[in-house]
Copies of this chain bind each other. A is one copy, B any other.
Amino acid sequence: MNTLSYGLLSLLSKNSRTGYELMQHIQPFWPAKHSQIYPLLAQLEQKGCVEFVHVPQSDKPDKKVYSLTDTGLKALQEWIGMPTDAPATRDEFALKVYCIGLVSKAEAMKMLVEREDYYIKRKVHYTQSFEKLVKLSEKPLEELEMDEPLFGNYVLLRKALHKLDADLNWCEWMKSKLK
């Protein structure tokens, strides 16, 4: 079973969801299009890792709400315990920075400003997610224990925000280098 399959099971371990919702929520972890997710869900259902109920809707198209089965949960727990491969970071921007000397300073500066804008937008987005999480949680986030459902969201959001700060600092530093 591939990583995306386990990713879908990971999301389903917290909430039952439709394929459409899974597509939306898997993006930060393992971006995928619906054309990949729907067939995988069918496969997972065949294997008995997930099950679904057909939910008719009047205002919107009908949907299939998927849930994790016991089989799926066991598969998920086994996968978590397995050694994790190093992430294969594919970074187009880094490639461009690597040979940034091939373009003018003005163009290089434009690249950095655009990147910075992108980071800032992400920071705003993640900050909002963080605030939502604070409201959603019954206790202060720092007091969340590992087995509570929001723990994963909290620690990953914190990581993402720290990374964004580092990226923004790097952008500032780079811009000062180009002056």
Contacts and interface: CB of A to CB of B under 8 A. Distances in A.
B96 A84 contact: yes
Nearest to A73: B102
A148 interface: yes
Given A10-B98, A30-B95, A103 B80 contact: yes
A78 to B, nearest CB: 10
Interface in A122-179: 146-149, 151-153, 155-156, 158-159, 162-163, 166, 169-170, 174, 177-178
B105 A80 contact: no
A31 interface: yes
Contact of A152 (B83, B84, B97): B97
B170 A95 contact: no
A6 B91 CA distance: 12
Contacts of A3: 90, 92, 95
A-B residue pairs, 7 tightest by C-beta:
A98-B152, A101-B147, A31-B88, A10-B99, A29-B95, A80-B96, A84-B93
Interface of A: 3, 6-7, 10, 13-14, 28-31, 73, 76-77, 79-81, 83-103, 105, 107-108, 111, 114-115, 118, 146-149, 151-153, 155-156, 158-159, 162-163, 166, 169-170, 174, 177-178
Contact of A178 (B94, B95, B114, B146): B146
A94 B156 contact: yes
A166 B72 CA distance: 33
B87 A90 contact: yes
17 contacts: A3-B90, A6-B92, A10-B95, A10-B98, A14-B99, A77-B103, A79-B96, A80-B100, A81-B103, A87-B92, A97-B155, A100-B146, A100-B151, A101-B152, A155-B174, A155-B177, A163-B163
